[in-house]
Amino acid sequence: MEPPVASFETEPSRYRHLSLSIEGAIARLGLAVREDEPLRPGYTLKLNSYDLGVDIELADAVQRLRFSHPEVRAVVLTSDRERIFCAGANIHMLATSSHGFKVNFCKFTNETRLAIEDASAGGAQRYLAAVNGACAGGGYELAMACDEIWLIDDGSSTVSLPEVALLAVLPGTGGLTRLVDKRRVRRDRADVFATLAEGVRGRRAVEWGLVDGLVPRSRFQAEVRAHAERLAASVPERPGPGVPLEPLEPQVTAAGVRYRFVELTVDRPRRLATLTVTGPGEQPRDAAGLRAAAARGELWALRAFRELDDALLRLRFNEPTVGLVLLRTCGDPAAVLRADATLWEHRRDWVVGEVIRHMARVLRRLDQTAKSFFAVGEPGSCFAGSLLELALAADRSYFLDDPRRPVLVAASPLSGGALPMTHGLSRLQARFCGDGEAVARVLAVQAPVPAAKADELGLVTVLADELDFDDTLRLAIEERLSLSPDALSGMEANLRFPGLEGCDSKIFGRLSAWQNWIFARPNATGETGALPRYGKPERPSFDWRRT
Residue-level pLDDT at 297: 93
Residue 1: band (very low, low, confident or very high) from pLDDT cuts 50, 70, 90? low
Nearest alpha carbon to residue 108 among 159, 44, 60: 60
Residue-level pLDDT at 414: 97
Residue-level pLDDT at 253: 95
**Among the ranges 194-208, 508-522, 525-539, which has the highest mean pLDDT value?**
194-208
Neighbours of 420 (CB within 10 A): 17
H or E element that contains 210: none
Distance (Å, whole) CA 165 – CA 217: 30
Q: In one letter, which amino acid is 109?
A: T
516 contacts 103 by C-beta, under 8 angstroms: yes
Backbone angles phi, psi at 289, to 5 degrees: -65, -40
193 contacts 180 by C-beta, under 8 angstroms: no
Residue-level pLDDT at 104: 92
Residue-level pLDDT at 20: 97
Specify the range with the lowest mean pLDDT, choosing from 243-257, 329-343, 512-526: 512-526
Q: Using N-to-C axis directions, what is the helix angle for 350-367 and 300-318, rounded to 10°?
A: 30
Check pLDDT > 90 for residue 390: yes
19 contacts 74 by C-beta, under 8 angstroms: no
Cα pseudo-dihedral 7, 11, 16, 18, rounded to 10: 120
Residue 236: band (very low, low, confident or very high) from pLDDT cuts 50, 70, 90? very high
Distance (Å, whole) CA 42 – CA 516: 23
70 contacts 240 by C-beta, under 8 angstroms: yes
Between CA 204 and CA 210, with CA 208 as vertex, the angle to 5 degrees is 95
Check pLDDT > 80 for residue 9: yes
Check pLDDT > 80 for residue 511: no
What's the mean pLDDT when you consider all of the chain? 94
What string of DSSP letters covers 473-505?
HHHHHHHHHTS-HHHHHHHHHHHT--S---HHH
Tell me the domain boundaries of the chain: 12-233, 251-491
Residue-level pLDDT at 506: 84
What do you get for the CA distance between the two ends of the chain, in Å?
29
Distance (Å, whole) CA 544 – CA 542: 6
Check pLDDT > 90 for residue 99: no
Helix spans in 387-515 (H): 388-393, 427-431, 436-443, 451-456, 469-481, 485-495, 503-510
Question: What's the whole-number mean pLDDT along residues 31-51?
Answer: 95
Neighbours of 325 (CB within 10 A): 25
CATH no. for 12-233: 3.90.226.10
Residue-level pLDDT at 39: 94
Residue 284: band (very low, low, confident or very high) from pLDDT cuts 50, 70, 90? very high
Residue-level pLDDT at 317: 95
279 contacts 332 by C-beta, under 8 angstroms: yes
Nearest alpha carbon to residue 272 among 365, 362, 374, 379: 374
Distance (Å, whole) CA 323 – CA 374: 11
Task: Sort residue 161 into left (φ over 0), alpha (ψ -120 to 50) or beta.
Answer: beta
Question: What's the whole-number mean pLDDT along residues 362-370?
Answer: 96
Residue-level pLDDT at 512: 64
130 contacts 81 by C-beta, under 8 angstroms: no
33 contacts 54 by C-beta, under 8 angstroms: yes
Residue 143: band (very low, low, confident or very high) from pLDDT cuts 50, 70, 90? very high
Check pLDDT > 80 for residue 516: no
294 contacts 351 by C-beta, under 8 angstroms: yes
β-bridge mates for residue 374, sequence order = 326, 396
Residue 64: band (very low, low, confident or very high) from pLDDT cuts 50, 70, 90? very high
Q: In one letter, which amino acid is 267?
A: D
Question: What's the whole-number mean pLDDT along residues 459-480?
Answer: 97
Topology alike, domains 12-233 and 251-491:
yes
**3-state secondary structure labels for all residues of 279-320:** CCCCCCCCHHHHHHHHHCCCCHHHHHHHHHHHHHHHHHHHCC
Backbone angles phi, psi at 380, to 5 degrees: 95, -10
Distance (Å, whole) CA 255 – CA 480: 22
Distance (Å, whole) CA 539 – CA 528: 8
As assigned by CATH, the class of the 251-491 domain is alpha beta
Q: What is the pLDDT of residues 263-281, one digit of tens each?
A: 999 999 999 999 999 999 9
Check pLDDT > 90 for residue 544: no
Q: What is the pLDDT of residues 100-142, one digit of tens each?
A: 898 899 999 999 999 999 999 988 899 999 999 999 999 999 9
407 contacts 476 by C-beta, under 8 angstroms: no
Burial class (CB in 10 A: 0-12, 13-18, 19+), 355: buried
Distance (Å, whole) CA 379 – CA 407: 5
Strand, coil or helix: 198 = coil
Nearest alpha carbon to residue 95 among 166, 153, 32: 166
pLDDT top residue among 458 and 95: 458
Query: Across the chain, how many H-helices and E-strands are there?
Result: 21, 21
What is the pTM assigned to this prediction? Answer: 0.95
Sheet order of strands, 449-450 included: 383-384, 408-410, 449-450
